[in-house]
């Protein structure tokens, strides 16, 4: 027993502690927002923009004649009235406001909010991010859930490197070729990283993707919400902590054309220790549709046509819209063609 304890003690003394890297992050506002987020960020404006500051739980706002009056410095006075710029085609109004003051701890506060009004009232979302570098790799943190904090794992967002694609804030991230454990302070001004020490496997979204296009975005999140990754940039898969993962969102592109991926009918993916989990998806794609019938009239709508991929994913939001599918109506018993139909224009 004495020898066993001595060996254990020696190992405890000689085993190196994980090396922690700590970096500072600075706030950056974006005049043009071009970061793809893993979830919808806009939420309804109701009484305030709920970013906590030294004077209260949020910056007061009030609707005024189609515009929005805002307390931009947290002193309780609605000193700025924002009307926004209207898009002639969509009639959507968009604007940006910079909120300043001090945070609850007394540190300087700067927070940019994007604003939009599509006709049903003003909505807001974060318009800036905390940005820094871990080694040579750029790290971007976004207050996705809009509570003024940057440390909400599974609810805030982060982008690793120069790609304009964010996943959810994760307890682990692939930085270069290293899987590291991340810790973020609530204000987002400091990020710490250590080598990840848990069991890992490989998640591969590229090798069995049947498509003529390019995978632009493929965000996954673990079932417990602790881990999230964007798999679009890796040809051979990436190393992730073991566990079950759900596909959150995706996007494919071919030249200037893009299509979104809706993932609610895809099955979770299980990653085991030292194993490789490959997603078989993309083609062949099948079309499903519904129609309405009144007497001898059959009504088809592009809103009731769904394109389903090999893993149950649905493709939607084609930009630009493509050629219409062709519908053939036949006599049931003889198979005689009665009618062909396509949607006018494109769909």
Instruction: Domain 200-282: give its CATH code.
Output: 2.60.40
**Which pLDDT score is estimated for 313?**
98
Q: How far is CA 326 from the centre of its chain?
A: 34
- The whole-number pLDDT of residue 14 equals 57
CA distance 11 to 301: 70
Extract the residue ranges of the chain whose pLDDT is less than 50: 1-3, 7
The answer for residues whose C-beta is within 8 angstroms of residue 69's C-beta and 6 or more apart is 61, 62, 63, 78, 80, 81, 82
Q: Can you give the residue ranges of every domain in the chain?
A: 27-129, 131-195, 200-282, 286-309+318-341
The pLDDT of residue 49? 96
Cross-strand bridge partners of residue 74: none
Angle made by CA atoms 56, 61, 64, in degrees to the nearest 5: 160
Cβ pair 52, 103 in contact under 8 A: yes
Q: What is the residue whose two structure tokens read 């000689």?
A: 14
329: left (phi over 0), alpha (psi -120 to 50) or beta: beta
In whole angstroms, what is the distance from residue 110 CA to residue 73 CA?
9
Q: How many CB atoms neighbour CB 227 within 10 A?
A: 24
Q: Are 170 and 182 in contact (CB under 8 A)?
A: yes
Tokens representing 256?
A: 């200037």
């Amino acid at each position: 027993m004495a020898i066993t304890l001595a060996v254990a003690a020696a190992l405890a003394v000689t085993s190196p502690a994980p090396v922690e890297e700590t970096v500072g992050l600075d706030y950056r506002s974006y005049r043009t927002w071009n970061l793809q987020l893993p979830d919808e960020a806009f939420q309804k404006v109701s009484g305030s923009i709920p970013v906590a500051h030294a004077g209260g739980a949020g910056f007061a706002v009030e609707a005024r004649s189609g515009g929005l009056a805002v307390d931009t410095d947290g002193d309780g006075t609605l000193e700025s009235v924002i009307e926004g710029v209207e898009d002639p085609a969509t009639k959507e109004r968009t604007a940006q406001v910079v909120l300043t003051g001090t945070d609850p701890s007394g540190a300087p506060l700067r927070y940019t909010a994007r604003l939009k009004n599509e006709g049903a009232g003003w909505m807001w979302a974060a318009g800036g991010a905390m940005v820094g570098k871990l080694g040579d790799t750029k790290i971007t943190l976004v207050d996705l859930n809009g509570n003024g904090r940057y440390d909400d794992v599974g609810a805030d967002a982060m982008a690793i490197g120069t790609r304009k694609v964010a996943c959810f804030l994760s307890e682990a991230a692939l930085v270069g070729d290293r899987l590291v454990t991340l810790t973020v302070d609530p204000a987002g001004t400091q990020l710490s990283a250590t080598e990840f020490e848990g069991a890992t496997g490989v998640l591969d979204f590229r090798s069995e993707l049947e498509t003529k296009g390019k995978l632009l975005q493929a965000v996954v999140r673990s079932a417990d919400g602790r881990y999230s990754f964007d798999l679009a940039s890796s040809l051979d898969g990436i190393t992730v902590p073991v566990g079950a993962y759900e596909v959150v969102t995706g996007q494919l592109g071919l030249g200037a054309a893009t299509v979104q991926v809706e993932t609610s009918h895809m099955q979770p993916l299980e990653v085991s220790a030292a194993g490789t989990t490959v997603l078989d998806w993309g083609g062949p794609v099948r079309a499903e549709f519904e129609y309405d019938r009144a007497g001898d009239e059959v009504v088809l709508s592009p809103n009731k046509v769904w394109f389903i991929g090999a893993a149950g994913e649905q493709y939607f939001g084609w930009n630009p819209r493509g050629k219409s599918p062709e519908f053939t109506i036949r006599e049931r018993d003889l198979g005689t063609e009665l009618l062909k139909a396509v949607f006018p224009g494109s769909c």
